[in-house]
Amino acid sequence: MTARLTEALPIACELRKRVLDPLRRMFIGKDEIIDVLGVCLAASEHAFLLGPPGTAKSAIVNELARRIDGTTFGYLLTRFTEPSELFGPWDLRRLRDGELVTNTAGMLPEASLVFLDELLNANSAILNSLLTALNERVFRRGRETGHLPLLMVVGASNHLPEDDALGALFDRFLLRVTCNNVPDDRLGEVLHAGWRLETPQATNEPRLPAESVRIVHRALSEVGLQAVHADLTTLVHRLRRAGIAVSDRRAVKLQRLVAASALLCGRSAAARSDLWVFKHIWDADEQREVLQSLVGDAIGTAGDEPDAHPAARNPDRPDPEVIARDLHALELQVTTGDLQAVDRARTQDRLRALQSRLEWVADATARDFLQQRTEALWNRLLD
């Protein structure tokens, strides 16, 4: 094991125990969100939260920031937000001397963790500056250029992008996760936990230094990926054939998240269970269940191993009605279409995805019925 990994592994363990585990206890039913934020923080990538107001998005991010000893910056974007509101105003004292210099004190360029609420309200005036900050960790304004100490930016919105310019901004957020109200059967737990959060409690818990998180970042390139290289490559191929866009750039960057997942689990090498991060690369709502299925199929039983990341375990139960609807659409395509070779391969991949979801259907009768339809469709495809 390299010196960097030897130094980073105990820090990743601290990140999990002192930051992420307490968040899971504080916020009921938000484990998936905390898992995504945790792995993005460990990988120095950006995360996007999709959900309506009142679902604890800002509360979770604020509590995460409170446990990291670094400078934080948060802002609610509107269509009229100006660059100076994020990056700082011109320094008037320097302006009198004829210098155009930004006063960045307390603003985004000095923050290690940033939360941008209603991210997709960003207008063209700040879009280029934001894209450069997110992608290159650099602040440019006029002739000014400066390195940003960003660990991670978290963006939030209650809707997905609707035009290409915002699509480019959305693309910089490598992982996406939904944040909704908890199920009714857990509402009592939420009320109790929320009441505890309303009561101020003094704490002497030490915060995790931002520089410690950067030590984890520097060790990522030394995490062993050899054991999952073939599985990762196959998964990317299957996702592309299923119609989910995974560019070469995104596939390369996702390896950092796989490595970060391994470190958070105390391992110096990645395992198949670390592929769970691919469940959160959706661009549209209808892709989520497809990703859940294909990624679950790639992970297989590896999610049950003792050192697997919690997010690789206990997949959500798929809705049998959704499977039946998707199966019916494939049946119509096979019945009415003239399948060419590429279409046949894509149809087979989609059918495999549907079949892999069947084992998680709780109702045995529905599961058996759908399995019979799936087998019949396979026979027609292979005939």
pLDDT digits (tens, 9 = 90+) for 65-75: 999 998 999 99
Structure tokens at 43: 């990988």
Q: Which of 65, 11, 3 has the alpha carbon at shortest distance from 215?
A: 11
CA 122 to each of CA 80, 326, 353: distance values in angstroms, whole numbers, following the listed order: 8, 35, 36
Query: Which residues 6+ apart lie within 8 Å of 88 measured at CB?
Result: 102, 103, 104, 105, 106, 107, 108, 109
User: Domain 3-198: what homologous superfamily?
Assistant: P-loop containing nucleotide triphosphate hydrolases (3.40.50.300)
Distance in angstroms (rounded) separating the CA atoms of residues 171 and 2: 33
Chain centroid to CA 213: 18
More confident residue, 182 or 153: 153
Cα 131–chain centre separation: 18
pLDDT confidence of residue 208? 94
Average pLDDT over residues 242-267: 95
Q: What is the pLDDT of residue 357?
A: 77
> Which tokens hold the place of 179?
């944040």
Burial of 69 (0-12, 13-18, 19+ CB in 10 A): middle
- Residue, of 138 and 332, whose pLDDT is higher: 138
Q: Is the pLDDT of residue 94 over 70?
A: no
CB 286 within 8 A of CB 280: no
Question: Tokens 């910089």 correspond to what residue?
Answer: 172
